[in-house]
Structure 1
Amino acid sequence: MTPTSPASSPASIAENLVEVRARIDAASRAAGRNPVAVTLTAVSKTQLPEAIDAILAAGQRVFGENRVQEAQGRWTKRLPGLSDLELRLIGPLQTNKAEDAVALFDVIETLDREKLARALAEAGQKLDRTPRVLIQVNTGAEPQKAGVLADEADALIQVARDTYGLKVDGLMCIPPADEDATPHFVLLKQIADRNELSVLSMGMSGDYETAIRCGATHVRVGTALFGERNRL
């Protein structure tokens, strides 16, 4: 199964969801893990309303979004009828959008600098809402990519926890596209283990089974569910 249509039908999206969940189950069992311990985050950025409605109807409830404003437009009207929905910000966050992000998202996966930690803490106090956060680690030290460098991750975790009182659940990474993802997933788990963090958001449509073998608790899947991304 390799979806290629940018406008997958509701039936094909439902079928894709069944297949992805089955592959998560198989990868988990092959790694000696309980499949229940791996959460599927459907990457809904750029998706059309009918695609979102289709996957909601098929039972998916955890979604990842890249941009705050786009997510507001997609989810604000749907939220009142979806009490079990979980929204996760998986794209870079500017400090001036911190308050909007805290108001909308349950989890912010892209904390990568102290300035943003301060902004999230201040927004949380103002709104009396404390989202869970993940530290994004730039495991490949790619200059064009967001994320704290691996050798600076421990310090940021400590600052986020101790100085700003944020609830740091775990770590997130996006390995370089042209490299074997395995060493990057292993590195992320090592950082998580020594900081006693239980959540690892790693793995996308092309490598989520590898990520599960390396300990992922959350995999971020878009193309394998919806087909090729719609460009805004």
Structure 2
Amino acid sequence: MSLTDITQQITKAEAKAGRPAGSVKLIAVSKVQPKERVAAVLDQGHRLFGENRVQEASDKWPAFRETYGDIDVHLIGPLQTNKARQAMALFGTIHTLDRPKLANTIARLAQETGNCPGLFIQVNTGEEAQKAGVMSTETDDFVETCRGLDLPVLGLMCIPPIDEEPSLHFALLQKLAARNGLTGLSMGMSSDFASAIALGATHVRVGSAIFGARVAG
């Protein structure tokens, strides 16, 4: 696979779903990838990337921005409240807003700094004890809470359980988003983004299919 292959597959999935070309944004998941692999994707013109950790992003992206100019980096991993200030300065969008304490912290910092990234609320559609995210039944109330804090909620995000049919979770997320008047859907990864696009994904997260197998570290 390559960036070109993935881009072509996304275009085909958009067309099959009757959606306009370019309606789905590809987040190239660059977590724990060697910098030379990231540079190779940047050299191909791609400018939207996803990171799991604030510290890794802070070590990687300032230098790339000096070389390549404007790059849109999204946080797609869990965010500790004490890292919120740093995350809000680093990322254009945070996909993992998942609890009231974090929402209150982001709202306070946004008031203080006059800046707030776009936000996706992470929904734990599989109700997995080990996974972050608000429960499906709590999503409506949490969206209302975030709106009451004047937070820029763009949509919802989910990571389906690895042993369940992902399209069921994508359909649930789509239903929850529509019910709350949200248009953003961050869902779909390397193995299932075509079905996510068919069910309305606006952002898909693809890593190893673009960069190659991740390097542990």
- Give the match for residue 75 of structure 1: 61
Matched, 1:158 2:158: no
- Give the match for residue 104 of structure 1: 90
Q: 1:1-232 residue pairs with structure 2 within 5 A?
A: 1=1, 16-162=2-148, 164-232=149-217
In terms of mean alpha carbon deviation, does 200-209 or 117-126 score higher? 117-126
CA distance in 1, matches of 2:164, 2:200: 19
SS at match of 1:36: coil
In terms of mean alpha carbon deviation, does 80-89 or 46-55 score higher? 80-89
CA distance in 2, matches of 1:61, 1:227: 18
CA distance in 2, matches of 1:82, 1:100: 21
CA positional deviation for 1:79: 2.1
| Per-residue CA distance 1:139-194 (angstroms, 9 max, x = gap) | 000000011001101111111111x2110000100000011001100000001101
Q: Normalising to structure 2: TM-score of the pair?
A: 0.97
CA distance in 2, matches of 1:149, 1:66: 21
CA positional deviation for 1:226: 0.9
- Matched to 1:224, the amino acid is A
SS at match of 1:47: coil
Alpha carbons 1:65, 1:91 under 8 Å: kept: yes
In terms of mean alpha carbon deviation, does 117-126 or 56-65 score higher? 117-126
CA distance in 2, matches of 1:126, 1:68: 20
Aligned length, in residue pairs: 217
Alpha carbons 1:103, 1:127 under 8 Å: kept: no
CA positional deviation for 1:75: 0.4
CA distance in 1, matches of 2:124, 2:139: 9
- Matched to 2:36, the amino acid is E
Q: Normalising to structure 1: TM-score of the pair?
A: 0.91
Alpha carbons 1:24, 1:38 under 8 Å: kept: yes
SS at match of 2:189: coil
CA distance in 2, matches of 1:153, 1:84: 33
Structure 2 residue runs without a partner (length 5+): none
Structure 1 residue runs without a partner (length 5+): 2-15
Question: What do you get for the CA RMSD once the two structures are aligned?
Answer: 1.0
Equivalent pairs: percent with the same residue? 51
Alpha carbons 2:171, 2:199 under 8 Å: kept: yes
SS at match of 2:106: helix
